Chain A
């Protein structure tokens, strides 16, 4: 099967350095023939390679604003993190008005979707004592990470729609009920802090069809909107989300909204991986819910965000305080009913293990054994010069037939050294007719005269 990825490589810009392969949390990148290659089945669209690439060769493909022309009625769905891009002197109403100025017909905050999901999570935790801990479905990179690297944990992902999906659902319902518009006339556009959300729009996991039409880069929209902000119409009446809904855009905000239970929040994909190892070992069964965010500081730390992640996080926290944290933003009954009426029933997330070395278990065992042997012989420096991120992944690539032992510069040098020594040895061996006797032999041998 082929996978769509928002994270792509601009070949011309890639210099074939090894920065990205070392940073990739799923070992999904190799450098071959001087260019990086993404192993599609392993990529989880976390955007780490976009952050680290010194040549801006890794980019996130998002939609162009011109696509608004394809629809009669366009609704912006700004992620909660969008409101963290602005300082304390800007109210949500101004931001929403700015989006109208930019050409959208209407705005539905994803924070409102978050209010709905918050209520549904509370209910789900109460009604389902097992399994524990449950894991938030909101971060698409985390969901894909679990599929690929922790396939046995897919059943821990809470089977609920994400705030983005719910906001799109609300937008479509409003367009239908208030304006009598057909679904095909309505464009719903997520303003995304990260490439993973665009991938989630194009290729949803556990859903047949996304309610979201496309996604615009948050940094791009921010840039276009900033000059319009001063003259923006006051959009106060557009604001529907609660203070807690906005909080979802920063690490810890989702748990703060849920409020009750043994809740744990982790941000940064490498921290998330370490925590999932503990879940896998069954060490965290006394926790109810894990808010896991691939980006440091949460969605405000996404790779398509304009403001510094920590400034964004503080902006959001202070916004929540300013709006006054006043309990649930959406009545639980209404939230559960809304999700139950959602046209696309979210199915289970399927595991997608990628580590198997061979379809045939017996051959896979031989290959794993070979992998361990090859690994023993490699220097263990994880230098990345071979184009694989670690010695272990080179060993894996060799066993899979995608690389050679001499791709390792140290192994190559060893072999060259051995070859050179052999050549030198051979060079000393002259044919008997050309042989020269050394000084010591001269007098000792008297038969020659």
Chain B
């Protein structure tokens, strides 16, 4: 039995076919698994931001009936409020959070043991009696871990420094440093009295069905101050760049599959040619069709199963490695349907590209044995074509979850599939016409190519597609990555300094010069609270519902003024500071508060009030590690206010001593360390970069596989021609010249066609589909590089045909 399984594997054509199945299976499975992972990551990220799949927020604790509904559910409770932290008669306004033992349900907290120590993951919040504080608290109160600090009437032991909370919003709009302590200590602090502004938040975790049911039940019980938020309606950043990258990845993977399909078709043709004699023999022995189907087709199918499984297993291995290296929790995210797809995707290719060919074996007539014909009659071209065209549609369906994406993908495929032969055929004919004037070797090579259009055209098309897509996907992918990278340049600021005064500049600059730190501009900061919109108090101007969703209200905001806009910002409407007393507002905040151009705003500051008028609405890219602001005033707009300064700088991670030196000299400043966030972002960029490279490599392998399969089919003819050339007096150098000329022409034409495609047809298509303008880059040279590699591989793979002895022509080997 095992022997029967292994027998086909001895044939080179079958090995090639199996390799194509493995590569296609690997590529398809990987993208499906990766897609599932990314979607889950996105959901988890949203859940991390929310703190759970569902959150119930209110200004008071939940009612008993609500508590009953939440009973026995995985739930974490936090209580957020503003309070004052006291140490040695020094006071500091802080954003306090009391957490229970279940917090956090999602994500990770990171803490450090000292001000400049490395961050470590903390599975649970502080124990009763303990307090965790943000870096700024250490700076502002001049305390260190081990000190005791008071919240209201309760003294707590400072036990760790907070580096990251999972549901911590980034940004600089809140000026109050964060502290975290155990909810069991909350009552004994005595700070929660009437008038204290408190947010109770229940974070619930659960599957979609449970959450939906709970949401329905809770909805009926909500008090006016309460609101529910789930992942769906959470305001989350769009998956824009990720979607674009996914579309390209899907196209590249689909092409890998199609190229593998071509390999499967060519290798199967060769295999059928080799098996036709056996089929004829079996027929002459009286074997019925059924027996031939089970003996030849069945054996072929069973033998291909391990290859099909191998591709999927390889991809599972790869995704598991990525899963672990990125420290993603839980098991692989693929759903049952996705696992089924992974299982059948390579077999779909086999069914579409191999089976129609293989059925020819059933129709080999016994008489062929007598007349030595042994040529299997293939199924009608229509059936083969339908199967070959149906497969990509089916696979594209496997890869995309949305009809729009599927449409885009198919449009790209049709353009490639129909446009390429139309483009390449004249090229081939042109080559044939000019070949008359070329030296013998080149002429022979060109005629080999131009006069076998059935073999050359698909091969040229395959190579052209591979080259064009590697170049375009590489370029688009890199463009996206570059964009991300530009937000995170290698020396992006990993520390921010707040509360810097003008008198500190000299000391601070001296320190920066000494460290050779990479610095950022200084931004003036004024703390202010938005109180009136067009003369109406905010509490009336903004509805309760809007306010609930808005953490920008009722707290001090960091206002700034600047002559120039930040490079990562974009004006959506209005003009950048047309007059002195104007302000530019972040678009999303403006939308939430219902602000529009021309609205008059009033802020209360420590020096009184600031009045201004909205002159522009700005789009802000919160992913950059630059300071971003909701309100940016025209220069001079904050002139009379108490100004402190904010800046960022880059220092190698973990250089605690140098930072300590700065803190000694300027003890009142606040230093923020964002290394943890920065490292995570860099890691993701690295992985995306690796994925692009892997796709390019897979495409290359697939293209080479097609070439090898095509060569395998034409090997006998090629060998005979070479032997004939030798018999007629051609030396070995001539054979090499012909072979090199053939592959250089093949790959050169493919490269030329790919370049034409890149610059003409697909270029505008990219712009339209990806909403992106492709730029010139070294990626345009990829067709050339791939051409050189593939031509060399072609010559190497043809070595066998170069060494066919001339004597073979005398033997019965025609």
Do A and B come from the same complex? no
Residue positions of B touching A, CB distance < 8 A: none
